[in-house]
C-alpha cells in the first residue's frame, strides 16, 4: 500500500533543512500562476524565496508538477508555473484528480497547508487568505481555506483576507471554526491592500517570539488547526482605500454580469482591480507579500528555537 511520501518530491535544500530541524517557510504557487502577470510573478517568487533566506529560514515553494507534489521548486518549475496556460488552480478537492492524471497545478492556501503539514512545515507565508465572498448568503461561496485553517496545523502569515471578500463574515466564520486571528502590532484586522478594515483581531502580538510561543502552546495542547497571523501592508505601500473600494465594486458587478463563478471569481476580480487601479493594486500586492515572507521567516526561526529547547 502506498504512503503519502510516494507522491512527494522534496528539493535538496528543503530536505536538508528538515533533517537539520532548521526553520522553513512554505510558499503557495497560485500567486505565480493566477495571482500576477508575467514576468512580475516569477520575479516576485524568486524575491520571496531570497527574503526568507535573508531572514534565516529556508523557502519551500509548493506546487504539483506533472502529478508529483513538489516541496521546493526548481527554476524550471517556477518558469512553467509563471508561463503555463494549462496550470490548474488546486484546492483540497482537486488534489487527487490532478495527481492521479499527472497534471500540473498551482496550490492555493488550503492545498499548500495540506502539503506543508505532510512535509513537517509549520509556517506559511501568502498574500491574503480566501474567505466568505460578498453575497455568500445566496451563493454559498465560501473558500475552502477557512475549513483548512480549522483542521491543519500550519500558521498562515497574511495581510488579512483579500478585500474583494466580505471581511466581517469571514472573521465570524473563523471564530465559529475556532481559528485564532492574531495581529502583528495591530488591533485592527488589515484589509489586504490597506491597513484598516473596521474589524478587529483576537489578540495583538508584538514580536515574532510571542507568535512562536502561541503556536507551540496551541500544538503542545493538541488543539488542532492553524492560526491566522494578520500582518498589515507597510504604510508606504498602502493603496488609496476609496480607489480600491470603487474598483472592487465595479469588478464584482462585471463578474456578476459575465456569470463568473467558483474558482474563477478571485483571479478575475484581482485582475480587474489591477486594471481599474492602473496597476496600483499589483504594486501593493507585491509589497505586502514581501512583508509577509519576512515576518514568516522570523516566526519560523523563533519557533524552531523553541522546539529545539
CATH number at residue 64: 3.40.1790.10
pLDDT at residue 263 in the model: 66
Whether residue 1 is predicted with pLDDT greater than 50 in this model: the reply is: no
User: Predicted confidence band at 245 (pLDDT cuts at 50, 70, 90)?
Assistant: confident
Q: Is 218 in the active site?
A: no
pLDDT the model gives residue 277:
77
Residue in 54, 74, 49, 53 with CA at minimum distance from that of residue 63: 74
pLDDT tens, residue by residue, 8-22: 999 999 999 999 999
Lowest mean pLDDT among 63-77, 85-99, 105-119, 260-274: 260-274
Say how far apart CA 212 and CA 262 lie, in whole Å: 35
Phi-psi region of 133 (alpha: psi -120 to 50; beta: other; left: phi over 0): beta
| pLDDT for 2 | 56
Residue 125, pLDDT > 90, answer yes
Q: Which of 28, 148, 280, 302 is catalytic?
A: 28
Q: Which three cell numbers stand for residue 227?
A: 492560526
Catalytic residue among 70, 162, 272, 274: 162
Q: State the pLDDT confidence band at 272, using cuts at 50, 70 and 90.
A: confident
User: What pLDDT digit, counting tens, does each position of 138-160 carry?
Assistant: 788 899 999 999 999 999 999 99
Q: Write out the residue range of the structural domain in which residue 255 sits.
A: 4-308
For residue 162, indicate whether it is catalytic.
Answer: yes
With a cut of 70, say whether residue 36 has pLDDT above it.
Answer: yes
Q: Which tens digits make up the pLDDT trace of 84-104?
A: 888 999 999 999 999 999 999
Total domains in the fold of the chain: 1
50: left (phi over 0), alpha (psi -120 to 50) or beta: alpha
Amino acid at each position: 500500500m502506498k504512503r503519502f511520501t510516494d507522491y512527494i518530491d522534496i528539493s535538496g535544500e528543503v530536505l536538508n533543512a528538515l533533517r537539520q530541524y532548521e526553520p522553513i517557510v512554505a510558499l503557495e504557487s497560485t500567486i505565480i500562476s493566477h495571482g500576477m502577470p508575467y514576468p512580475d510573478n516569477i520575479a516576485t517568487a524568486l524575491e520571496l524565496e531570497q527574503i526568507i533566506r535573508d531572514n534565516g529560514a529556508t523557502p519551500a515553494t509548493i506546487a504539483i508538477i506533472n502529478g508529483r507534489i513538489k516541496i521546493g521548486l526548481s527554476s524550471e518549475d517556477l518558469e512553467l508555473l509563471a508561463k503555463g496556460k494549462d496550470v490548474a488552480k488546486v484546492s483540497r478537492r482537486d488534489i487527487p484528480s490532478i495527481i492521479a492524471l499527472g497534471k500540473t497545478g498551482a496550490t492555493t492556501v488550503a492545498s499548500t497547508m495540506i502539503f506543508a503539514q505532510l512535509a513537517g512545515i509549520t509556517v506559511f507565508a501568502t498574500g491574503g487568505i480566501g474567505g466568505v465572498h460578498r453575497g455568500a448568503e445566496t451563493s454559498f461561496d465560501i473558500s475552502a481555506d477557512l475549513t483548512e485553517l480549522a483542521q491543519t496545523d500550519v500558521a498562515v502569515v497574511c495581510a488579512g483576507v483579500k478585500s474583494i471578500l466580505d471581511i466581517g463574515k469571514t472573521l465570524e466564520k473563523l471564530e465559529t471554526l475556532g481559528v485564532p486571528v492574531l495581529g502583528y502590532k495591530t488591533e485592527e484586522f488589515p484589509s489586504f491592500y490597506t491597513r484598516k478594515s473596521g474589524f478587529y483581531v483576537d489578540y495583538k502580538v508584538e514580536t515574532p517570539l510571542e507568535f512562536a510561543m502561541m503556536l507551540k502552546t496551541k500544538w503542545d495542547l493538541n488543539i488542532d488547526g492553524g492560526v491566522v497571523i494578520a500582518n498589515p501592508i507597510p504604510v508606504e505601500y498602502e493603496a488609496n482605500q476609496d480607489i480600491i473600494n470603487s474598483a472592487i465594486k465595479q469588478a464584482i458587478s462585471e463578474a456578476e454580469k459575465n456569470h463568473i463563478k467558483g474558482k474563477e471569481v478571485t483571479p478575475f476580480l484581482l485582475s480587474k482591480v489591477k486594471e481599474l487601479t492602473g496597476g496600483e493594486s499589483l504594486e501593493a500586492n507585491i509589497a505586502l507579500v514581501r512583508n509577509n515572507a519576512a515576518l514568516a521567516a522570523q516566526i519560523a526561526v523563533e519557533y524552531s528555537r523553541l522546539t529545539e529547547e
